Amino acid sequence: MEATAQANGRPTAPARLKERYESEIHGRLKERFGYSSAMEVPRLTKITLNMGVGEAKQDSNMLEAATEQLATIAGQQPSIRRARKSIAAFKLREGMPVGVSVTLRRARMYEFLDRLVTVAVPRIRDFRGLNARSFDGRGNYSMGIREQIIFPEIDYDSIDQTRGLDVTITTTAATDEEAFVLLSAFGMPFAPEGAPGSASAAEEPDEAEEERRHEEARVKAEAEQAALEELKEENPEAYETPVRADPDAEERSSENATEETQ
């Protein structure tokens, strides 16, 4: 039996959800979707946690705190994410630390999902169910967590500030509907409306997705404008608006001179 590795003082325990998948969920999915082979049945492959730390470029202690907190949550040491390119508008240079990330597989993945579903998510304030529209069209699901303190491993009195993190669950499902059924079987508490494949999902727009797209467009526009301003500063002559000659200016000047002599 596969067991989770000990981390941050947590005792090892059997991967309960892995056992449930093998004994119950796998067979139910095969029967429901009529797969001809057991290899076609969707399964989890990895869970990725990302915690952004924009303040790290001014204060390295922020990065250290985020690294420690994400390691406590995941039970595995995270790696530092760095900017892939420079963005002058955000005073961001290539290679600067922008966050921390960790990828969980096998037993640790199941152990984290178990804690997420049974302990952490129910502690979200005003919780009304997870957004069932947050699948990516390829059977993967992403969710944002506003506060890391929903995980009981995080001591509220010992943290420097509350931080959010993103959780991405990657599966082998071919469609969002199959992934939705898989994660629901694991106990993911989705909101009743907007489930993939349902009528409401087709009729109702995804406001969160629209907001995300607008934000991405705004950031991209700001970055492009900042890059243009830099080019103008480096080579002002190339971007200087030429002064167009007025073809009637000479004629008007002659007329004015004639009027003055009269």
- Distance, in Å, from the CA atom of 60 to the CA atom of 184, rounded to the nearest integer, reads 40
Query: Going by C-beta distance under 8 Å and a sequence separation of 6 or more, which residues neighbour residue 37?
Result: none
Per the structure, the count of domains in the chain is: 1
Domain contains 104: yes
Alpha helices for 75-206 (secondary structure H): 106-115, 176-185, 199-203
- Distance, in Å, from the CA atom of 87 to the CA atom of 131, rounded to the nearest integer, reads 32
- Distance, in Å, from the CA atom of 88 to the CA atom of 219, rounded to the nearest integer, reads 12
Q: What is the pLDDT of residue 3?
A: 41
Higher pLDDT, 54 or 150: 150
Domain contains 233: no
| Sheet hosting strand 79-82, strand order edge to edge | 79-82, 97-104, 44-52, 165-171, 141-145
Question: CB atoms < 10 A from the CB of 38, how many?
Answer: 9
Q: Are the C-beta atoms of 117 and 188 separated by less than 8 Å?
A: yes
CA distances from 81 to 47, 66, 86, 97 (A): 16, 12, 14, 6
CATH number of the CATH domain containing 134? 3.30.1440.10
For residue 235, what pLDDT band results from cuts at 50, 70 and 90? Answer: low
Q: What is the pLDDT of residue 239?
A: 42
Domain contains 46: yes
Domain contains 110: yes
Domain contains 146: yes
- Distance, in Å, from the CA atom of 248 to the CA atom of 252, rounded to the nearest integer, reads 6
Which of 109-118, 127-136, 163-172, 202-211 shows the lowest mean pLDDT across its residues? 202-211
For residue 159, what pLDDT band results from cuts at 50, 70 and 90? Answer: confident
Domain contains 243: no
Domain of residue 182 covers 16-204
The encoded tokens of residue 221 equal: 């526009």
Query: Going by C-beta distance under 8 Å and a sequence separation of 6 or more, which residues neighbour residue 133?
Result: 194, 196, 201, 206, 208, 209
Which of 127-131, 150-154, 216-220 shows the lowest mean pLDDT across its residues? 216-220
Q: What is the pTM of this model?
A: 0.68
Residue 21 has pLDDT above 70, yes or no: yes
Would you say how long the chain is, in residues?
262
- Distance, in Å, from the CA atom of 75 to the CA atom of 104, rounded to the nearest integer, reads 9
Domain contains 2: no
Domain contains 242: no
Q: What is the pLDDT of residue 9?
A: 44
